[in-house]
Amino acid sequence: MDGQDGLHPDLAGLAFLLGVWTGAGRGCYPTIEPFEYLEEAVYTPGPGKPFIAYRQRTRRSGGGGEPLHAETGYIRPAGPAGAEAVIAQPTGIVEVHTGEVDSGRVCFRSAAVERSPTSVEVTRVVRRIQVEGGVMRYRLEMAAVGKPLQFHLEAELFRDPPPAEHPAARV
């Protein structure tokens, strides 16, 4: 362990992810109408262990704010410049990723995408995350339902507490 905070030393290269992040994003795909959403993502270090617990949820922007999506998982360091992630979704999709970490950036590429018998077909996912100061930007590309890998989601999130100019970013 590392000092008072209990952060495992192997997590040093991924520490930029830690915290509660809120903000807004947009999504589209050839099989759905474009949409906007609000998001909360939480990255918590394992207590003295070399993993980060990840939890995310989104809701529709504007009136009603009904829930759209949620996922949960774990991120683990994999050597000095690598990482792995396992992410499960209530839609029946489980993603296993390998990734590269470099100066506040991580790019995860699916090594496997598994699904329950009734879930929609997803065959490949790429997740790119960049953190600069208190701002996280990410982009998700997906190959699904017979379509090739392409843009699906992007968002800009702010480490809590969010800046005063983004009070509506809370999920």
Residues 110-143: pLDDT tens digits? Answer: 999 999 999 999 999 999 999 999 999 999 999 9
Identify the CA nearest to 25 among candidates 53, 72, 57, 63.
57
CA distance 123 to 153: 16
How far, in whole angstroms, is CA 28 from its chain's centroid? 17
Identify the CA nearest to 17 among candidates 125, 107, 93.
107
% residues pLDDT > 90 (the chain): 86
The torsion angle over the Cα atoms of residues 70, 71, 72 and 77, rounded to 10 degrees, is -140
For 101-116, b where at least 16 C-beta lie within 10 A, e where not — what string?
beeeebbbebeebebe
pLDDT tens across 11-51, in order?
Answer: 999 999 999 999 999 999 999 999 999 999 999 999 999 99
For residues 170 and 110, which has the higher predicted lDDT (pLDDT)? 110
Rg (CA), the chain: 16
pTM: 0.90
* Confidence at residue 6, expressed as pLDDT on a 0 to 100 scale: 78
Q: What domains can you pick out in the chain, each with its CATH number?
A: 3-163 (2.40.128.20)
